[in-house]
Amino acid sequence: MKVLVIGLGGVTNGGKTTLAEKLKTMLPNCDIISQDDFFKPESEVETDERGFKLYDVLDALYMDEMVTSIHNWMKNPAGSGVVTEEPQNTCDNLKNVYILIVEGFLLYNYEPLNELWNRRYFLTLPYEECKRRRSTRVYQPADTPGYFDGHVWPMYLKYKNELEENASMHVDYLDGTKSQEELLSYLYSDIIQELNKLRE
């Protein structure tokens, strides 16, 4: 049995969750862990001097629990309830390969996760498009006025810069303004290549 752990990270509202869900239906034995499921309750998230809740930082997440969940899945992917129906056109020799897609906005800046990835993808968006998409979403708690410019976007740039400065980290940057179909097609063929390498 082999496992493939794929990181689908990047900017808020970049399309990570939608892409992960669509890939799950296309790939054999595929499961998803979402970073959003590991946010601390609002009462435990720090507030800065401007009154902004600091959600877009590692401290706002139970990262150790997330790492544990990924390790548990890797130890026993078949027991995770992953559906093993074969999607169309998948070869028989992929039956013993399990794929985990981990999707979230802060995946590659946390050291304990970095030895787990087989592939790292990072969705980017220009400022205006990201702000426009973010404004159409309803969050709990809701974004306060100025929150995007005061916290969300600066943190995205900070963490993205950290990644770009880390020469040892191979990250595949994807343009989130491209159509879902185009992104999906690219991701799917890239992951299938990775699966074929595992089989060799």
Pair type for strands 2-10 and 30-34: unpaired
Contact 107, 7 (CB under 8 A): yes
Pair type for strands 30-34 and 97-103: parallel
The structural domain count of the chain equals 1
Domain membership flag for residue 3: no
Domain membership flag for residue 1: no
Structure tokens at 150: 């005061």
Catalytic residue, chosen from 36, 37, 48, 172, is: 36
Q: Taking the CB of residue 164, how many other CB atoms lie within 10 A of it? A: 12
Of the chain, the end-to-end C-alpha distance in Å amounts to 13
For tokens 């390498």, name the residue: 197
Please state, for a pLDDT cut of 90, what percent of the chain lies above it.
Answer: 76
Please state, for a pLDDT cut of 70, what percent of the chain lies above it.
Answer: 92
The domain of 114 spans 10-78+93-198
Q: Model pTM? A: 0.91
Query: Known catalytic residue: 56?
Result: no
Convert the pLDDT of each residue in 111-145 to its tens digit: 999 989 999 999 999 999 999 999 988 887 788 89
Domain membership flag for residue 86: no
Q: Which residues pair with 32 in a beta bridge?
A: 101
pLDDT at 80: 65
Domain membership flag for residue 142: yes
Q: Which CATH number do you get for residue 42?
A: 3.40.50.300
Domain membership flag for residue 87: no
d(CA 186, CA 200): 22
Angle 47-110-18 (CA atoms, 0-180°, nearest 5)?
85
Q: Residue 13: pLDDT above 80?
A: yes
Domain membership flag for residue 5: no
Structure tokens at 192: 């299938």
For tokens 């720090």, name the residue: 46
Convert the pLDDT of each residue in 71-98 to its tens digit: 999 998 877 665 545 444 445 556 678 9
Domain membership flag for residue 56: yes
Q: Residue 48: pLDDT above 60?
A: yes
d(CA 65, CA 21): 22
- Would you call the peptide bond into 141 cis, given omega within 30 degrees of 0 as the criterion? yes
Domain membership flag for residue 2: no
With residue 9 as reference, give the H or E element that holds it: strand 2-10
